[in-house]
Amino acid sequence: MNVIVLMKQTFDTEERIRLVDGQIAEDGVKWIINPYDEYAVEEAVRLKEQQGASVTVVSVGNEDVAQALRTALAMGADEAVLIDGTDLHDERAIAKALSAYLAKTPFDVLLAGNFSIDNGAGQVAIRVAHQLGLPHVAAITKLAIDGGKATCVREVDGDVQTVEVQLPALFTAQQGLNEPRYPSLPGIMKAKKKPLTNVTLGDLGLSADDVAPRVARIDLSLPPKRQAGQRLSGDVEAQAEQLADIILQATGQAGAR
């Protein structure tokens, strides 16, 4: 069984966000594997351990992303592929590049993240599935593969769905799917010798026209500063009294007293 994981490196949103010259400052920022993609990598490695599979991790990005790919290799993936993302500026373009790579590569299971924690459009993985003509199940919390069929569990609006799907198919991981492992020291040593292949758009037969952006970012801003929060003083009685008035004011029932 061939399993391919689509993985993005992201800005750690635990970090403080600063704008410098209208851009988000990235100096000294911690870069991590997108947490939802980490669940996807873990699930792929478990499939390998439990059923036998070869696991390839694919990422679109710049050369710094090699670090995240090495981490995935240390977790147990067998191979990594880094597609140069220099000329890819929107979700459609990134999905095109991934699809072009996948169209030439055999696989049974595609795993990805539910969305990225930085940009969070939740588009790339589903676009890839559609472009390749494959079914997908998003935000899964359980996956069982049996022959050419997968059974998975997902939550939609509070309902818990069980979905059966024929392979090949794409699945996006939701929190709860598994607990990702930390790479072990031997894992990290082995990862250094595992293959990491660089791929360019040219290699994929894509022209600048094919990936020309459809959308553009024109501005970045920080949320309007909330008025410094006010701590209510007094005893419980007084605090509850003030809170009640504040709430009724906000819900338009202010006349209530």
Partner 1 sequence: MGKTVLVIAEQKDQKLRQVSLEALAAARQLAGDGGNIVSVLVGDNVDAAAQQLADHEQSQVVCVAADILVSYEAEHYFAAVQPVIDEVKPDIVILPHTASGRDLAPKIACHLDAGQISDVVAIEAVGEDVTFKRPIYAGKAFETKRFLTGPWVVTIRPNNLQADATNGAAAPIVKRTYTEPTPMRSQVVDVQRKGSDTRDLTEAKVVVSGGRGVRSADGFAPLAELAEVLDGALGASRAACDAGYCDYSLQIGQTGKVVTPDVYIACGISGAIQHLAGMSQSKLIIAINKDGEAPIFDIADYGVVGDLFEIVPKLTEKLREKITAVRS
- 103-142 residues near partner 1, rule: CB under 8 A: 114, 117-124, 126-127, 130-131, 135-139
Q: Which of residues 55, 169, 204, 206 is near partner 1 by CB under 8 A?
A: 169
Using the 8-state DSSP alphabet, how is residue 214 labeled? Answer: S
Q: What does the angle CA 172 – CA 176 – CA 180 come to, to the nearest 5 degrees? A: 85
| Distances 190 to 45, 65, 75, 100, 165 between C-alpha atoms, Å | 15, 18, 10, 29, 34
Is the distance from CB of 98 to CB of 112 less than 8 angstroms? no
Q: For residues 44 and 4, give the distance between their C-alpha atoms in angstroms, rounded to a whole number.
A: 8
Q: Which is nearer to ligand FAD, 212 or 254 (CB)?
A: 212
- Binding mask 179-218 toward partner 1 (x if CB under 8 A, else -) reads ---------------------------------xxxxxxx
Q: Is 144 in the site for partner 1 (CB under 8 A)?
A: no
Q: Which 3 state secondary structure label does DSSP give 46?
A: helix
- Cα first-last separation, the chain: 68
Q: Which is nearer to ligand FAD, 123 or 151 (CB)?
A: 123
Minimum distance from residue 18 beta carbon to partner 1 (Å): 10
Minimum distance from residue 130 beta carbon to partner 1 (Å): 4
Q: For residues 31 and 7, give the distance between their C-alpha atoms in angstroms, rounded to a whole number.
A: 13
Q: Is 23 in the site for partner 1 (CB under 8 A)?
A: no
Q: Is 163 in the site for partner 1 (CB under 8 A)?
A: yes
Q: Is 230 in the site for partner 1 (CB under 8 A)?
A: yes
Is the distance from CB of 76 to CB of 55 less than 8 angstroms? yes
Q: Is 87 in the site for partner 1 (CB under 8 A)?
A: no
Whose structure tokens read 């609006």?
157
Q: For residues 162 and 15, give the distance between their C-alpha atoms in angstroms, rounded to a whole number.
A: 36
Which 28-57 residues touch partner 1, going by CB under 8 A?
none
Q: Is 248 in the site for partner 1 (CB under 8 A)?
A: yes
Q: Which residues bind ligand FAD (CB under 6 A)?
A: 6-8, 24, 34-37, 59-61, 85, 89-91, 94, 112-113, 115-116, 118-125, 175, 215-217
Minimum distance from residue 95 beta carbon to partner 1 (Å): 7
236-239 CB contacts, 8 Å cutoff, 24+ apart? none
Q: Which is nearer to partner 1, 28 or 158 (CB)?
A: 158
Q: Which does 162 bind (CB under 5 to 8 A by kind): partner 1, ligand FAD, none?
A: partner 1
Phi-psi region of 120 (alpha: psi -120 to 50; beta: other; left: phi over 0): left
Q: Which 3 state secondary structure label does DSSP give 181?
A: coil
Q: Which of residues 1, 24, 196, 199 is near partner 1 by CB under 8 A?
A: 24
Q: Which does 205 bind (CB under 5 to 8 A by kind): ligand FAD, partner 1, none?
A: none
Minimum distance from residue 11 beta carbon to ligand FAD (Å): 6
Q: For residues 167 and 146, give the distance between their C-alpha atoms in angstroms, rounded to a whole number.
A: 10
